[in-house]
Amino acid sequence: MENRVDLNKTVTGETIEKYEKKKRHYQSDSVASKYDDIRFTKRSHRLRNKRKLDAVQKAISTARDLGWEIKSVLDIPCGTGRMFPLFLNNKITFNGADLSGEMMKVAKKRFGQSGLMQGMVRCDAENLPFKSKSIDSVVSIRFMFHIPESVRHNILREMTRISKSCLIIDYRHCYTLKYWIKKSLNTLGIGKPPSYRFSVKDLHNELNSAGITIVKVFPTLRLFSDKWVVLCKAK
């Protein structure tokens, strides 16, 4: 266990206060309308996005190679529909869910006409309005690092409850040059400590405690990117 700062701060995640701020942040037309431009317009961002989509594609293909059916997906949080092209390419019917109606409005405008979209629902990931084992797979991208540890546990349990087949979730890990340089400098008294990033052991513990086992981890760019796309399954 590292650097416990205050009682409200979890060791492996954000503070509740920051999380509540993040939730409010996305519930804004101006944030939602600029999200894609800020995240995915620059060349470096487009490449990063492509690496993430490629990793999610590998997770889908691996699950299918293992004989698991992925005909329906819940994308939570779907945001502005970043993952939707992937579902369309794979002929997967999908539901989008998000706490922000504003983000989903953008997604609906872009993809609402596509035949494979079943619907969009505004909800909190801690309480998914879907029946148990009603959807093949749950996909959750660019989300977990915003969430405090205790809340992540509830969310993972909800995702597991509704999914029949597997979960595809991205996490941020500590095996990058940037992380280790920051950490080394910090031990020498230079700069701030790096933000928490998952080790293999912490990831196993987190998923295990929510009743989930890891099937395969897909790094997006070894040593330079801290993103893992994790294919996992309820025990």
Ligand X SMILES: C[S@@+](CC[C@H](N)C(=O)[O-])C[C@H]1O[C@@H](n2cnc3c(N)ncnc32)[C@H](O)[C@@H]1O
Say which residues have a Cβ less than 8 Å from residue 166's Cβ, sequence separation at least 6.
63, 68, 70, 136, 137, 215, 231, 232, 233
Residue 218, interface with ligand X (CB under 6 A)?
Answer: no
Q: How far is the CB of 109 from ligand X (least distance, A)?
A: 15
Stretch of residues binding ligand X (CB under 6 A), selected from 6-14, 78-86, 174-182, 192-200: 78-86
- Contact with ligand X (CB under 6 A): which of 100, 160, 176, 225? 100
Q: Smallest gap, in angstroms, from Cβ of residue 19 to ligand X?
A: 7
When asked if residue 203 is in the footprint of ligand X (CB under 6 A), the reply is no
User: Does 48 contact ligand X by CB under 6 A?
Assistant: no
**Whole-angstrom Cα distance, residue 222 to residue 206?**
22
Q: Is 103 in the site for ligand X (CB under 6 A)?
A: yes
Residue with the CB atom nearest ligand X in the bound state: 79
Alpha-carbon gap, residue 136 to 112, rounded angstroms:
21
Structure-token pair, residue 199: 């080790």
125 lines the binding site for ligand X (CB under 6 A): yes
8 A C-beta contact, residue 79 and residue 102: no
Q: Which two tokens stand for residue 174?
A: 């500590």
CB of 152 to ligand X, least distance (A): 10
Distance CA 98, CA 91 (A): 22
Judged by CB under 6 A, the residue of 23, 58, 110, 157 near ligand X is 23
Contacts for 89 with CB less than 8 Å, ≥ 6 apart = none
In angstroms, rounded to a whole number, what is the distance separating the alpha carbons of residues 191 and 4?
18
Residues between 58 and 77 with contacts to ligand X, criterion CB under 6 A: 77
Q: Which stretch binds ligand X (CB under 6 A): 6-14, 95-103, 176-184, 206-214?
A: 95-103
Please state the closest distance from residue 106 (CB atom) to ligand X, in A: 10
- C-beta separation of 140 from 67 below 8 A: no
| Dist. CA 66–CA 135, nearest whole Å | 18
Applying CB under 6 A, which part among 18-26, 84-92, 159-167, 184-192 lies near ligand X?
18-26
Contacts to ligand X by CB under 6 A? 22-23, 26, 77-79, 82, 98-100, 103, 124-125, 141-143
